[in-house]
Structure 1
Amino acid sequence: MSLETVVEDIREEARARARDIEQDADERVDAIIADAEEEAEEIRLERQREVEREIAQEREQRLSSANLEAKQKRLEARRNVLEDVRGRVEESIASIDGERREELTDELIAATAAEFDEGASVEVYGRTDDEALIAALLESYDGYTYAGEYDCLGGVVAESEGSRIRVNNTFDSVLETVWEDNLKEASDRLFEQ
């Protein structure tokens, strides 16, 4: 064998080995690229899921916030309507006059008198416009006197120092009791859905 043949064999063997190394490197590169692409796709999909979750969460928060705001506005509107109804009722009660006012005031004075001991000295307060009416009705009660103004829609407030009792039988107190007892029913009727 000649030296040239040996050199050529070594070169051929080196080339073959280089091709094998190159092929192996290409395969490794392809595998690395495939793994990287797979990992990149997983990262992209995970990021896409995160973005979709964030969008859904943001949508849910905004929807919840909008629903809460709408509910608060409905409640405020209902409260305003109920306040308006209450104001109209108060105006209607304040405008009761004549025999009806006299009957109601008389009933409230009688209910008030029942709270005090017989023979007690009782001071009775009422609406300024009702002074003459109250004074006239009190003439049938011994020891009862009109003592002055009380800011109310009508009715009376009475007190006695001797028994340390104060009775509030005003139209306002009656309205407050009726209003509280019937507010839910009134609200349900006004806002039937």
Structure 2
Amino acid sequence: MGLEAVVNEIREKGRKEVEAIRAETRAEVEEILKEAQARAAEIKLSAKEEADRAATHIINQEVSAANLVVKRQVLNAQKTLLDQVYSASLAAIGDLPAEFQEKALTDLLKRAAKVIKKGVVHANERDIPLVEDTISRLKTLSGYTVGDPVDIPGGIIVESSDGELQLDYSYGTFLDEIWESSLKDASDILFA
């Protein structure tokens, strides 16, 4: 065997080893690429799931915030409406006919006389003549005098002569008491 044959044999052997190494390297590269692709798919899936969770969380927060804003606006509108009903009620009480006002003031004065025997009666400007007339007509009210007009929608405020006791029988006070005790019922009726 000549030198050329030995060289060819070594070359052939080297070429086979190179091909084997290349094939082995290609297999390793393909395995590494497969693993990288699988890992990338896992990362992508995990990121998508995390993004979906985050988006759902943000949407839920926004929906809750929007619901709170709407509820606040509804409550504000209801409060405005209730305030309007209160004001209208107070105005309607003050605008009742003179016969009603006379009877109501007489009853309130009699009621006050049971608690305060002598005192000063205050009423609004419109009702002062009715109060004066009622005090002059009824002997049980002889201990009363008429005081300065006060800014109330109707009713009376009676102050004892010594100034230690005051009865507030104004329509506004009565309406406030009724309003406080019946606000939930009124709200249920109006906004049910």
Instruction: Give the alignment's TM-score, normalised by structure 1.
Output: 0.88
Equivalent pairs: percent with the same residue?
Answer: 29
Confirm or deny: 8 A CA contact 1:108 1:170 kept in the other structure: no
Which position in structure 2 is the counterpart of 1:97?
Answer: 97
Distance 1:6 1:18 in 2: 18
Shift of 1:166: 1.4
Which position in structure 1 is the counterpart of 2:45?
Answer: 45
Which position in structure 1 is the counterpart of 2:176?
Answer: 176
Shift of 1:154: 0.8
Alignment-mate amino acid for residue 130 of structure 2:
L
Alignment-mate amino acid for residue 134 of structure 2:
L
Which position in structure 2 is the counterpart of 1:73?
Answer: 73
Q: Aligned residues, how many?
A: 189
Shift of 1:12: 2.4
Within a 5 Å distance, the mapping from 1:1-193 to structure 2 comes to: 1-116=1-116, 118=117, 121-139=118-136, 140=138, 141-160=141-160, 162=162, 164-192=164-192
Structure 2 residue ranges without an equivalent (≥5): none
Distance 1:16 1:113 in 2: 128
Alignment-mate amino acid for residue 79 of structure 2:
R
Superposition RMSD on alpha carbons, in Å?
Answer: 1.8
Q: Deviations over 1:71-120 (max 9, x none)?
A: 1222222222212222221121011132211111122222222332x4xx
Distance 2:51 2:58 in 1: 10
Distance 2:115 2:52 in 1: 71
Distance 1:42 1:110 in 2: 89
Shift of 1:42: 1.5
Shift of 1:163: 5.8
Distance 1:143 1:149 in 2: 19
Confirm or deny: 8 A CA contact 1:126 1:154 kept in the other structure: yes
Q: Bigger shift: 24-33 or 102-111? A: 102-111
Structure 1 residue ranges without an equivalent (≥5): none
SS at match of 2:115: coil
Q: In structure 2, do the counterparts of structure 1 residues 163 and 149 end up closer, same or farther at CA, with 3 Å as the change threshold?
A: closer
Q: In structure 2, do the counterparts of structure 1 residues 33 and 40 end up closer, same or farther at CA, with 3 Å as the change threshold?
A: same
Distance 2:161 2:101 in 1: 28
Shift of 1:161: 5.1
Q: Bigger shift: 157-166 or 87-96? A: 157-166
Distance 1:113 1:173 in 2: 18
Confirm or deny: 8 A CA contact 1:123 1:145 kept in the other structure: yes
Q: Bigger shift: 55-64 or 175-184? A: 55-64
Shift of 1:53: 2.0
Alignment-mate amino acid for residue 179 of structure 2:
W
Alignment-mate amino acid for residue 75 of structure 2:
L
Distance 1:6 1:135 in 2: 145
SS at match of 1:22: helix
